[in-house]
Amino acid sequence: MWAAPSLFRLPFPNRHPLFRGVLPAGIAPVAEAFEGHDLVLVLGAPVFRYHEHLPGRYLPAGTRLIQVTEDASAAARAPVGEALVADPGAVIDVLLASPGTGSGAPAGAPLPVPEPLTAEGPGLHPEEVFAALREELPEDTAYVVESTSTNAAWWRQMDLRRPGSYYFPAAGGLGFGLPGAVGVAMAQPGRPVAGVIGDGSANYGITALWTAAQHRVPLTVVLLRNGTYGALRWFGGLLGVPDTPGTDIPGLDFTRIAEGYGVRAQHVGGVAELRAALAERPAGPRLIQVDTALTTPS
């Protein structure tokens, strides 16, 4: 079981022993992931979100793709394979009832979480931050994530097993994270909600903090500050323009910005301080700023 590239929800527990990860968002690496498989069955997802220009063969030689989707326009846009416009849930029920499907017995123990990587220079490695989130926040926390440069670190460390645990801006436009986190928290007042937001992304929707303060939304915002638009910097290198101007944003202090909007905020400097902050359960909104090392999406 693979998750589709740039997934906006998590359709499958990511520590399940059958989970293979999130597909890369380029044509060539997607085909490489499918090497050795005869059939690719796409259930309710587009084929595919090719966010990165990495051209190549859409599928390995001899591999067949069948898409099941309720979205006729998504079926029409697919560059490869066959499409069945139908309810994916109904199709799954039919497949499970078919002879030879198997007993549906558990596949084994959950996949272990690796030890988090550490940063060589100043700041925490994002994996250290995500390990702290996994261990200190409640298991039913819903995460709204807009930190695309830390995507690989996120999936290495998180253990998400409940529906509605993950929200991500699949379209790629910046500014979703903070207002999205406020909205999810307001819609589900009985469930813990955390926004995991990069400093570049936060600039596009920072006024959402005012809404959180005015409505006393019980929201935790973890602000990853690496002083740059990490995903844009990575894309610049991918496209052969590594010296793209305007990608560095040093000196921003989001704790002071948050306090100006009426949100309690603190800057943590290490893993122990971060874990202690996350262990608190304030009634209203809070922002925790943590300096992180620069990483890439994959």
Q: Report pLDDT digits (tens) over 2-24.
A: 999 988 999 999 999 999 999 99
Say if residue 151 is in the same domain as residue 261.
yes
**SS3 of 43, please?**
strand
Q: Is residue 187 part of a domain?
A: yes
Q: Average pLDDT, whole number, for the chain?
A: 91
- Count of beta carbons in the 10 Å neighbourhood of residue 136: 15
Confidence of residue 122 (pLDDT cuts 50, 70, 90): confident
- Euclidean distance between CA atoms 66 and 78, whole angstroms: 10
Residues 217 and 211 sit within 8 Å (Cβ to Cβ): yes
Q: Are residues 153 and 45 in the same domain?
A: no
Q: Are residues 93 and 188 in the same domain?
A: no
Give the whole-angstrom CA distance, residue 182 versus residue 15. Answer: 27
Quick check: helix, strand or coil at residue 133? helix
Could you list the residue range(s) of the whole structural domain that residue 53 is in? Answer: 2-97
Which amino acid belongs to residue 29? P
Residue that is written with structure tokens 């303060």 in the block: 213
137 and 91 both lie in a single domain: no
Q: Are 167 and 142 in contact (CB under 8 A)?
A: yes
Whether 86 and 208 share a structural domain: no
Residue 52 pLDDT: 82
Of 240, 250, 241, the C-alpha closest to 200 is 250
Asked if pLDDT for residue 134 goes beyond 60, the answer is yes
Q: Among 77, 97, 117, give the residue marking a domain's end.
A: 97
Question: What pTM was computed for the model?
Answer: 0.91
Q: Name the domain count of the chain.
A: 2
Q: How far apart are CA 55 and CA 62, in angstroms?
A: 19
Q: Is 16 in a helix, a strand, or coil?
A: coil
Same domain, 32 and 168: no
Pull the structure tokens for residue 66: 């069948």
Residue 113 domain-assigned (yes or no): no
